Amino acid sequence: MSDVKKFMFVNRKAPYGTIYALESLEVVLITAAFDQDVSLMFTDDGVFQLKKGQQTKGIETKNFSPTYRALEGYDIEKLYVDRESLQERGLTEDDLLVDVKVLSRAEVGALMDEQDVILSF
Amino acid sequence: MLHIINRSPLADKALENCLNTATGGDILLIEDAVYAATKGNAFESRLRAAMGKFKINVLRPDLEARGMADRLVDGAKLVDYAGFVELAVANKTCQSWL
Amino acid sequence: MKFGIVVNEGPYQHQSSDSAYLFAKAAIEAGHEVWRVFFYHDGVNNASKLTEPPQDDRNIVNRWTKLAEEHKVDLVVCVAAALRRGIREENLATGFRISGLGQLVEAGTKSDRLVTFGD
């Protein structure tokens, strides 16, 4: 595809309770495969998607959290987390299973302004 | 940017997060988010405080459907679907805070 | 102006299908083009021709079909999301087609504005 746009995926929902996080990740991978400029933003309950140590055997559901670690292999390296959302949930960067850039809300807002397409599910 | 919110601020943090995060521009309240712009609700003062930074638009059919048309807060603008389209045209990007 | 629309919720369960439809209609009435509506998550249920609402209710599925026929709107249902939820060629309503997520990316790259409706 010749036209490259800046796509940001804003994740505000926790995993497993609903399918949004998993199906959002599927779009992220395809968007990167189409050579678009992809970034992921995790805010509100969306930060729970990146929590280390997810064990899903007991709910008989696939643990898709390793996929976040595989994103680098698809050249998806822009992962951002809203600091306030982490703090509100008693989490720190050490609780997360991938390297992310932790941002203030002002920084998140400025980054959103740079995007061509913002998708949220 | 046009920020579209569809959840009541008393049930979901979308609107609060948007007000704290976005740099300004247009906000359109649709579906259950229209309750945010009604007089006397617990989020009213927060919304009013944001009116300098944001333009608050409320989708009229959704407000009317919910029986709240008579208690729109001052400073919020009612739009119909044609107005929704105009807002989308006027802003380069539309972000739905889902 | 060229609009793309994304619908993430099922009909009747959530207002997003109605909001998306009314937005599309208003955009067309204002002289804009709605070239594609992409149905994802439970939104794929908008494409089931087995849908049978009560007589006095709106028919959300037929409404989309009519919009596609009258205004050449490309109604695309995500294949992976559809298969998960039992939407297949056999029960696909007229005017819809099943395709991949690439169509959503394309809706993002080729639309002047992409508007998402969901929960």
Q: What is the pLDDT of residues B31-54, one digit of tens each?
A: 999 999 999 999 999 999 999 999
User: What's the 3-state SS for chain B?
Assistant: CEEEECCCCCCCCHHHHHHHHCCCEEEEECHHHHHHHECCCCCHHHHHHHHHCEEEEEEHHHHHHCCCHHHECCCCEEECHHHHHHHHHHCCCEEECC
Residue B24 amino acid letter: G
Nearest to A99 by CA among A72, A62, A67: A72
Cβ of residue B31 closer than 8 Å to a chain C Cβ:
yes
DSSP C50: T
- What confidence category does residue A2 fall into, taking pLDDT thresholds of 50, 70 and 90? low
* Closest chain A C-alpha to C91 CA, distance in angstroms: 22
A1-15, A16-30, C23-37, C105-119: the lowest-pLDDT one: A1-15
Please indicate whether, in this complex, the C-beta atoms of A116 and B1 are within 8 angstroms of each other.
Answer: no
**Residue numbers in B near A108 (CB within 8 A):** 21
- What pLDDT was estimated at residue A3? 79
Q: What is the pLDDT of residues C70-118, one digit of tens each?
A: 999 999 999 999 999 999 999 999 999 999 999 999 999 999 999 999 9
For C11-42, give the DSSP string.
TTTSTHHHHHHHHHHHHHHTT-EEEEEEE-GG
- What pLDDT was estimated at residue B68? 98
- What confidence category does residue B18 fall into, taking pLDDT thresholds of 50, 70 and 90? very high
DSSP C57: S
Positive or negative, the CA dihedral A52, C41, C58, B37 is positive
The CA-based diameter of chain C, rounded to the nearest angstrom, is: 40
Mean pLDDT of the region A81-100: 98
Nearest to A35 by CA among A68, A5, A71: A5
pLDDT at B17 over 70: yes
Residue B54 φ/ψ, nearest 5 degrees: -120, 155
**Residues whose CB falls within 8 Å of the CB of residue B92, separated by 6 or more in sequence, listed in order:** A116, B1
Q: Which residues of C are catalytic?
A: 78
Do B19 and A104 form a contact (C-beta atoms < 8 A)?
no
Q: Which of C102, C106, C116 is the closest to A119 by Cβ?
A: C116
Cα distances (angstroms) measured from residue B26 to each of A41, A82, B19, B52, B79: 21, 22, 11, 11, 12
Q: Which of A20, A44, A108 is the closest to B13 by Cβ?
A: A44
